[in-house]
Structure 1
Amino acid sequence: MADGMMVDPGRYRLAIFDFDGTLADSFPWFLGAVNSAAERYRFRRIEDADVERLRGLSAREMMVHLHVSAWKLPLVVRHMRAMASANLHHFKPFYGVLPLLHALADRGVALAVVTSNSRPNVERVLGPEVCARVGFWECGASVFGKAPRLRRVLARSRVAAADALCIGDEVRDADAARAAGIPFAAVTWGYTSEAALRAQNPAHVFSSVPDLAAALGVALGEA
C-alpha cells in the first residue's frame, strides 16, 4: 500500500526513476556479482546469513562491512558493470513497470532514468518501446554521484524540483534527491529494507508497482 497522504495525481510533472532495484529486479544477480568481485579484489564476501542485515545498510555502510576501500570502489564498479552487460538475461522488469511507464507518458508526465548502470543495459532490459518514451537519460553515474545528474535532469526538463518525483530503492537515492531538493518516493521491493528507507523520511513509501501507479493516478494495462 502507498504510505502517508495520497499523492495529488496532477502534482508531479516529471518522474525520475532509478533502474536497479526500482525498475528492474537485479538484486539476486547483484549478490553473485559482489562475490565475484570480492574474489578478484580481495574483500569480504556476502554470505546468505548477511543478506537481510545488508539490506538495512546504506551503500557507504555496506562498503565498510565488506571492507571495500575507497580506492578499490571504481575497480569494483567497473568489474560489476562489465558483468551486468554479459548477464542481462538475469535482469527482468518488475511486474507492472512497463505499463506504468507507458501510462505516465500517456498522461503527459515526463520520464527520466538516472542510474549507475549503462544506457545500453537499461534499453535492453526495458525494451525499445518504453525507452523511446523516456525523455531524459543520465546513466553511468558514480555510486555517490547521482545528485548532479538529478540537477541536470531538472535543468534540461525545465521542471521545478518541487514538481518532480525521484523514485528509488536505496538510501543513496534518498540522499541524492534530498541534495537536489526533489521529493523522494521510496519503493520497498528493491535492494534496501523498508525500515532503512523509512528512516530517510521519504515523501512517499510504496510496496508494489500497482500501489505506485494508483497513487500517481494511472491504471496499469498488461505487464
Structure 2
Amino acid sequence: MVKHILFDFDGTLVDSRALLVKLYNEMAAQYQFRMIRDQDLALLRSLTISERVNRLGVPVLQIPKLVVAGRQMYQDNIRTLHIVPGMKEVIAHISALGIRSSILSSNSEGNIRTFLKNNRMDGAFKEIISAKHLFGKHHSIRKVMKQWGTPPSRMIYVGDELRDIEACQKLGVPIIAVTWGYDSPRLLLSGKPDYLVNSPSDLVKTLLALT
C-alpha cells in the first residue's frame, strides 16, 4: 500500500508549457538556436530530451547555463501560470485522507513555493524537493527514500515525462504517467510506466486504489 506520493511540478501540476516555449525562444534569439514554432510542438512532444536538443541545435555543454537563466526568467513570469484544471481538487482529496504528498521537481524550490503561495496551496505538500540535475532525478528520489526510510513499494511518483519513468525504474519506484504534460502519450508508453492516466479524475481514482 502506498503511503507517500511524489508529484512532479511542471507539466503535471502546473500548465507551464506555453511559458517555457516563450522563454526558450527568447534565449534562442539571443544565442542563435532554432526557434520553436507552433507547428513544431506536436513533434517535439514525441521526442526524448536529447532528440529535442539535437533538433533545436542546442549545444549540450550550454544546457546547465541555460537552465539557470531559464529558472530566473521563469520566476519573473510566475504569476502568469495556473494549476492544471482538476489538480487542485486531486491534492485536496488525498490530503483530506491523510496521505502524505510532496513535490520533487527539476524546477527551483523558490519558484515552486511562490507558485503554491500565489494559488493558495501553501500547506498542500509536506516537502518541496528540487532535483539539482536535469537528468538526475533518481539521485533525488533515492535520497528521499533513504531520508524517510521508505521502501519503493510504499511510494509512487506522478510525472509527465519519459525521464521521470526512467528515473523511477532505476529504483523500482512505481510511477503514474500523466498525458497532459510535456511528453506525448506514445513517448510515455515507450517507457512502460506502471500506470498511464488521461485526466486528473483518472489520476485520483488510480491513487485511491493504491493507498
* TM-score normalised over the length of structure 1: 0.87
Answer yes or no: is 1:170 the counterpart of 2:157.
Answer: no
Asked if the contact 2:2–2:154 (Cα under 8 Å) also holds between the matched residues in 1, the reply is: yes
Answer yes or no: is 1:185 the counterpart of 2:170.
Answer: no
Aligned residues: 208
Larger displacement relative to structure 2 (74-83 or 130-139): 130-139
Give the Cα–Cα distance (whole angstroms) in 2 for the partners of residues 25 and 129 of structure 1.
16
Give the Cα–Cα distance (whole angstroms) in 2 for the partners of residues 179 and 65 of structure 1.
27
2:19 paired residue number: 29
Partner AA of 2:145 in structure 1: L
Q: CA deviation at 1:129?
A: 5.6
SS of the equivalent of 1:49 reads helix
2:105 paired residue number: 115
Q: CA deviation at 1:211?
A: 1.0
Q: Which runs of 5+ in 2 are unaligned?
A: none
Compare the two structures and name the one with the higher helix fraction.
2
Answer yes or no: is 1:38 the counterpart of 2:28.
Answer: yes
2:208 paired residue number: 217
Q: CA deviation at 1:47?
A: 1.7
Q: CA deviation at 1:214?
A: 1.8
1:200 paired residue number: 191
Partner AA of 1:166 in structure 2: Y
Q: CA deviation at 1:39?
A: 1.5
1:67-103 per-residue CA deviation (whole Å, 9 max, x = no partner) reads 1112110111112111100001221111122222222
Partner AA of 2:192 in structure 1: N
Asked if the contact 2:159–2:177 (Cα under 8 Å) also holds between the matched residues in 1, the reply is: yes
SS of the equivalent of 1:167 reads strand
Identity fraction in percent = 29
Answer yes or no: is 1:20 the counterpart of 2:43.
Answer: no
Partner AA of 1:147 in structure 2: H
Partner AA of 2:141 in structure 1: L
* TM-score normalised over the length of structure 2: 0.92
Structure 1 stretches of 4+ moved >3 Å:
128-131
